[in-house]
Structure 1
Amino acid sequence: MMTFSKHNNNSEQVVPGDNIVLPVAKWASWQQGAQAASPDVSFMELSIRRKLGLLTKMCLHVANECAGYDAQVRVVFASRHGDLTRTTAMLQEIVSAEPLSPTAFSMAVLNASTGVYSMQAKNIWPSTAISAGAHTFAMGLLEAALQWQSQPEQPVLYLYAEDAPPDFYHTDDAGTFVPHAVGILLSGASPACTLKLATQAAASSDVPPTLPMSLAWVESMQQGQAATWQGDGRAWQWEFAHAAH
């Protein structure tokens, strides 16, 4: 079993063999069909809102719900496909020998959402963008966890967002997929709950998951229940506990 342990100062190292326990100060999610027709990004300037696709709107919405305009958070963003709608449109323009839009290109890169958020919040701290296949949500959360452990006095904002890929990609999760985003603020200052995360090799990878890992996490968080997600040969377990104040 490969898990990691929480440490309270920078001199200690992450040691395999223990659970990673993280302080969650706030979390938020947005899911198409379950909430308003479009994510609320009214806090952004109109000139910027006009440039945003659904993926970035979802990401900025949950970022604002979790951290507002906090200029002191480190940001980790994760997405399996990124803004594939924009990327696909640009690829089609290339095939048709049409000129590419600089705005479309700048908003299609994987870290575009964190760039927009950083400019809006005037946040000059580092941001990280991650893509890791079906395990992207967990790998992004693991990166956020390790960053928080390395410097626990500074919060880390984890953002995950996924838009629906165009139909002709025929992705393996098309039957269970809806556009959605998740935001998690890791901070030891005033945690609302603690999150324990662990992973191990799965006994079998024959049974496909019924939900993407991110949506399974949201469902278990809403219900306040521990859960296990299995896919591509690995199983991830997480559980929550209300923080003592």
Structure 2
Amino acid sequence: MITVYKDNKNSDPVVLPIAKWASWQQQGEQAASPDVSFMELSIRRKLGLLTKMCLHVANECAGYDPHLRVVFASRHGDLARTTGMLQEIVAAQPLSPTAFSMAVLNASTGVYSMQAKNIWPSTAISAGEHTFAMGLLEAALQWQSQPEQAVLYLYAEDTPPAFYRTDDAGTFVPHAVGILLSDATPLCKVKLAMQAAATTASPALLPMSLAWVQSMQQQQAAAWQGEGRTWQWEFQHAAH
């Protein structure tokens, strides 16, 4: 169940059934890459780490389902590729059409949709520190509007290039999360709440996406805070 609070007032609850979920995270400084061997070699050569992570968790959650609606969220998108193009512009070098097409925020969903031959709508979202939660909320509302059709939520984040690093950049290790919303065979149901947070409270040590993964692995309620909002979630029943 998802319940959103605005100015401490409750909205109507939405049942959020999680049929399947998956995650991938780079460990330490290793150069390991997520498995995307299911993609054609000609396509794999064009993919950056962000898109590979996204496609990996999408395949783990849904395979090549051509009937899904897809919501993708990323705070920074493929910032490494975008930064490279900006540097080429400064150096008066021609831009690669492939690099440009793969740098837009919805590139990952585009590749996935073509591979799955999926013609249903997809949505791409970026919302600062709350990107993971806002993307999840968008996926939940899309599912609520048409519960007979599953919705695949994908979140991916790469470490920003050194040029853009901030004090919290170290928390954004390369990682991705996939969540399939469907009431056909739900593994668990989650109740999520959001409310205004005190400005004096300490910020979260992890991005919400990684806090979510930890709680899913442990099946324990958790909370996350950032930019004036607190998100809390708990399980209605455990996944197996």
Tell me the TM-score range normalised by the shorter chain. over 0.9
Instruction: Work out the CA distance in 1 between the residues paired with 2:83 and 2:90.
Output: 11
Measured after TM superposition, the shift of residue 206 of structure 1 is: 4.0
Instruction: Work out the CA distance in 1 between the residues paired with 2:238 and 2:95.
Output: 50
Of 181, 184, 207 in structure 1, the residue corresponding to residue 202 of structure 2 is: 207
The percent identity for this pair of structures is 82
User: In the alignment, residue 43 of structure 1 is paired with which amino acid?
Assistant: F
Question: What SS is found at the alignment partner of 1:21?
Answer: coil
CA contact (8 A) 1:41 1:57 kept: yes
Instruction: Work out the CA distance in 2 between the residues paired with 1:236 and 1:184.
Output: 18
Which residue matches 2:153?
Answer: 158
Structure 2 regions of 5+ residues with no counterpart? none
Structure 1 regions of 5+ residues with no counterpart? 6-14
Measured after TM superposition, the shift of residue 240 of structure 1 is: 1.6
Instruction: Work out the CA distance in 2 between the residues paired with 1:18 and 1:225.
Output: 24
Of 24, 33, 37 in structure 2, the residue corresponding to residue 30 of structure 1 is: 24
Measured after TM superposition, the shift of residue 202 of structure 1 is: 0.7
Measured after TM superposition, the shift of residue 18 of structure 1 is: 4.0
Instruction: Work out the CA distance in 1 between the residues paired with 2:172 and 2:185.
Output: 33
Which residue matches 2:115?
Answer: 120
Instruction: Work out the CA distance in 1 between the residues paired with 2:100 and 2:152.
Output: 25
Of 186, 192, 195 in structure 2, the residue corresponding to residue 197 of structure 1 is: 192
Q: What is the CA RMSD across the aligned residues, in angstroms? A: 2.0
Instruction: Work out the CA distance in 2 between the residues paired with 1:54 and 1:132.
Output: 21
Instruction: Work out the CA distance in 2 between the residues paired with 1:172 and 1:120.
Output: 38
CA contact (8 A) 1:19 1:197 kept: no
CA contact (8 A) 1:20 1:197 kept: no
Which residue matches 1:228?
Answer: 223
Which residue matches 2:61?
Answer: 66
Measured after TM superposition, the shift of residue 232 of structure 1 is: 0.6
Instruction: Work out the CA distance in 2 between the residues paired with 1:75 and 1:18.
Output: 24
Distance 1:187 1:151, change over 3 A: same
Of 24, 27, 38 in structure 2, the residue corresponding to residue 43 of structure 1 is: 38
User: In the alignment, residue 3 of structure 1 is paired with which amino acid?
Assistant: T
Measured after TM superposition, the shift of residue 243 of structure 1 is: 6.8
User: In the alignment, residue 68 of structure 1 is paired with which amino acid?
Assistant: G
Of 79, 82, 93 in structure 2, the residue corresponding to residue 84 of structure 1 is: 79
Q: After superposition, give the CA deviation of every residue in 1:53-89 in whole Å (9 maximum; x if it has no partner).
A: 0000000000000000000110000000000000000
Q: Does residue 21 of structure 1 match 2:15?
A: yes
Question: What SS is found at the alignment partner of 1:114?
Answer: helix
CA contact (8 A) 2:159 2:170 kept: no
Measured after TM superposition, the shift of residue 191 of structure 1 is: 0.4
Measured after TM superposition, the shift of residue 3 of structure 1 is: 3.4
- TM-score if structure 1 supplies the norm length? 0.91
Question: What SS is found at the alignment partner of 1:27?
Answer: strand
Measured after TM superposition, the shift of residue 139 of structure 1 is: 0.2
Which residue matches 2:3?
Answer: 3
Instruction: Work out the CA distance in 1 between the residues paired with 2:65 and 2:193.
Output: 29
Question: What SS is found at the alignment partner of 1:142?
Answer: helix
Q: Does residue 139 of structure 1 match 2:137?
A: no
User: In the alignment, residue 15 of structure 2 is paired with which amino acid?
Assistant: V
Which residue matches 1:149?
Answer: 144
Of 167, 176, 182 in structure 1, the residue corresponding to residue 171 of structure 2 is: 176
- TM-score if structure 2 supplies the norm length? 0.93
Measured after TM superposition, the shift of residue 205 of structure 1 is: 4.6
Q: After superposition, give the CA deviation of every residue in 1:107-139 in whole Å (9 maximum; x if it has no partner).
A: 000000000000000000000000000000000
CA contact (8 A) 1:3 1:197 kept: yes
Which residue matches 2:125?
Answer: 130
